[in-house]
Amino acid sequence: MKKVVFGLLSLSLLAVPAMANEQENIDIYTEQPIEQVTAPVTVVMTLHERQLLSRSITQWAETMGFKVKWASSKDFRVFRDIELTGESVDDVLIQLANILSGPDYGLQIKLYAKNQVLVIEEW
């Protein structure tokens, strides 16, 4: 019997000799059940106090691998830090779009995922 250890997981391998024209049989068992643990992914966008909105969005987008085209003559200063979180980039952008599409801002967001371009423009 051969015992192989991988980190905390111990596998014991038992090889049964094969007869002519038969495939080799290997029984594999674990001493403990294997659990797959995946950590939840969280995407965070922080709009920084005293920074222009265009700058905060551009900084975040660049860290996510996107280019930003600010296609609006309007820009806004962020008065306090605002943190948007979600399970994906889309979740965060939906939250941002809900804020920016209101009458106070009048902006819309378009994400061109294939080209990795984020466009912010007026309605």
Question: What is the number of residues in the chain?
Answer: 123
Task: Label the pairing between strands 117-122 and 107-112.
Answer: antiparallel
| pLDDT band for position 26 (cuts 50, 70, 90) | low
Give percent above pLDDT 90 in the chain. Answer: 63
Among 15-19, 20-24, 114-118, name the one with the lowest average pLDDT.
Answer: 15-19
Helix (H, G, I), strand (E, B) or coil at 99: helix
Query: What token pair was written down for 21?
Result: 């024209």
**From its phi and psi, is residue 102 left (phi > 0), alpha (psi between -120 and 50) or beta?**
beta
| pLDDT tens profile 72-109 | 999 999 999 999 999 999 999 999 999 999 888 999 99
Domains of the chain are 1-32 (no CATH), 43-122 (3.55.50)
d(Cα 67, Cα 119) in Å, to the nearest integer?
9
| pLDDT band for position 32 (cuts 50, 70, 90) | low
